[in-house]
Structures are given as C-alpha cells and as structure tokens.
A = this chain, B = another copy of it.
Amino acid sequence: MKIGIDMMGGDFAPLEALKGIQSYFSENADPAQLFLIGNEEVIKPLLSDFSFPEEAFTIVHAPQVIDMHEHPTRALKEKQKSSISVGFHLLATGKTDAFISAGNTGAMLVGSVYSLKPIEGVLRPTISTIIPKEDGKTGLLLDVGLNSDCKPEHLNQFAVMGSVYAQNILGIENPKVGLLNIGEEEGKGNLLAQAAYPLLKENKHINFVGNVEGRDLLIDKADVMVCDGYTGNIILKFAESLFEITNRKQIEHEYFERFNFENVGGTPVLGISKPVIIGHGISKAKAFKNMIVLAQKMIEKDILQKLQAELVA
C-alpha cells in the first residue's frame, strides 16, 4: 500500500507533516509505504531530526508549491512540478494508492475531479465532515462545500456515498440517513429538499429516516445527513468555530474537544476513482497522522469498490 503525502501543503509545512509521519510510524508496526512529495532541498535536511524506517518512505522531489490563495485551475496548469500536481500524477498513474494534502483546497478539489475520473455513475463527487453527536457517536454531514448548488439527484447520491463511508469507515451499521431540512414532515422545506425527499424515500440503497432539522444535527436522529454544499459548508465552519470559541473562552469540556478537526484530520473526496484526502490549512502533526490512518483504512476497506457497487446496482 502506497500513500502520497503533500509535504508542502498547509500553514505548518513541512515540519508538522514530518511530525505526523513520525507519529504514524511509531504507532504502526507494519506501515504503508509513504511517498513524501515536495521540495527535497527543504525536506531532506529536516529528516535528521526524525527516525523514519528507511524502507517505509520515499521522497519524491517536487520543486514548486501552490500557495493557499492561488487560483486552483490556473495554478495546477502552470505549476506542473508542484507537490499537488505531482501528487495527483502519481495517484492517477497508479504509483500511489491514495493522496493526502493540507494545501490549497481548491486545487485539491479541482485536481480530484479533473486528474482522476469520477466513479462510474457518480454525478458529483462530494466532501463530508464528521459531526460529533451529543451521545458520543459520530455523524456524517455532506456535502460541505464542493457543490454549492445541488439538484435532488445529487443529494440522493450523497446519501449513498455517505452511507457506504459511515458503514465502512465510521463503523456504523445500517446508518440512518436524514435530509437536512426545516420542518419534520415530508413536503416541508425549500424546493430542493421537497424534491429530494421522494428520491431518498424510494432509494433502496439507504436507510432513510426522513427530515432532520438544525436542532437534530448534534443528536442521534440520523447518522448521515445530506444537504447542498452551501448549507453544509456554513454548518461545518460554524461547528469548527465552536471549538475555537470554547478554547478562547477556556470552556473546557470533552464534548467541544470533539469539534477539533485535528481529531479527524481531513475529509476524503468521495465519488472519485482513488482515495484523496484534503486537510485543513492549519493541520498539525495529529491531523497529518490521522489523515494517513484514514487513507490506509479507505484502501484496506476498498471503499471505492463498495461505493461503485452501491451506486450502479
């Protein structure tokens, strides 16, 4: 198993990525082969501070960097030797089995959709976020920003992809799927939700439990919650800000600690033909380690095969 890691992505690159890799190696007796993609002149001198197993990593030189605020499409086109471009190239050509980056999110999304094929039948790849439920369980919300305008059939596919992910990666048996909406009954909501409801209800690949409201996001009403990416992104960032605010206000409680995105690491792009995981720009060691673990799990569980099976069946 080969996992590519963008060493130049994120605000704390490459040092925090290296720390995360160290932590991954320390905790895994039989680690995946890691491809450290980035400027070797920057990376190599730092390696003496770490003790990576020689046989378990390879440095892949990529002298360019796509900055956080560069225009995604233009940057990918112009910087073919950037760590992100090289990362996608390795993945697309089968030299790696997964790719991780905490770099320019837009470039990662564009690269995911254009360097790799979508899974057959997928209308729109999607990104998700973990939702810490009040009772200790974990929910999944999607889409959280890849698709700011959606059609009903997109939400219907998000439900399938979210269910496969929740079952295989989060370990939730027969995940309950809810449609994020305003009001409980069928027929409520905006035009999108009204049109999506009957599709979800008829969908035999999911365990649809109806509408969930804003107040249900954090409680155990649905495991997988689907909405358009505009709404989902606002909720995601609102939830992330709760962790920051409680931190700043020194409100210490394990519940809000669970809103710390570092615990999850990153979000996979679901619906494309290879595992790609996008991290937060401010990812530190823990986030990098968790992204590697997540990539490994996605490969081991053969998530993409399972997604395809559900989507075309």
**A contact set with B: CB distance below 8 Å:** 134, 145, 148-149, 180-182, 189-191, 193, 213-219, 227-231, 233-242, 244-245, 248-249, 251, 253, 255-256
Closest-CB distance, A186 to chain B (whole angstroms): 14
**Which residue of B215, B233, B234, B251 is within 8 Å of A240 (Cβ)?**
B215
Complex: A242 Cα to B180 Cα, angstroms: 17
Q: How many copies does the complex hold?
A: 2
Q: Are A238 and B255 in contact (CB under 8 A)?
A: no
Q: Which residues of the partner chain B approach A244 to less than 8 Å between Cβ atoms?
A: 215
Q: Which of A148, A219, A233 has the most CB of B within 10 A?
A: A148
19 chain-A/chain-B pairs, Cβ below 8 angstroms: A134-B249, A145-B182, A148-B191, A182-B234, A189-B230, A190-B229, A213-B237, A214-B238, A214-B239, A214-B241, A215-B240, A230-B231, A231-B231, A231-B234, A234-B235, A235-B235, A238-B238, A249-B255, A251-B255
Complex: A242 Cα to B242 Cα, angstroms: 10
Chain A contact surface mostly: helix
Closest-CB distance, A108 to chain B (whole angstroms): 15
Q: Which residues of the partner chain B approach A149 to less than 8 Å between Cβ atoms?
A: 190-191
Knowing A190-B228, A191-B149, A193-B230, the reply to whether A251 touches B251 (Cβ < 8 A) is yes
Q: Which residues of the partner chain B approach A148 to less than 8 Å between Cβ atoms?
A: 182, 189-191, 193
Residue in B closest to A212 when the chains form the complex, CB atoms: B234
Complex: A234 Cα to B232 Cα, angstroms: 10
Residue in B closest to A241 when the chains form the complex, CB atoms: B215
Complex: A249 Cα to B228 Cα, angstroms: 31
Closest-CB distance, A190 to chain B (whole angstroms): 4
Knowing A182-B145, A190-B230, A229-B182, the reply to whether A237 touches B253 (Cβ < 8 A) is no
Knowing A235-B214, A249-B255, A253-B249, the reply to whether A241 touches B229 (Cβ < 8 A) is no
Complex: A215 Cα to B259 Cα, angstroms: 13
Complex: A253 Cα to B228 Cα, angstroms: 33
**Which residue of B134, B180, B237, B245 is within 8 Å of A214 (Cβ)?**
B237
Residue in B closest to A106 when the chains form the complex, CB atoms: B183
Q: Are B241 and A238 in contact (CB under 8 A)?
A: no
Q: Which residues of the partner chain B approach A182 to less than 8 Å between Cβ atoms?
A: 145, 148, 229-230, 233-234, 237
Closest-CB distance, A191 to chain B (whole angstroms): 5
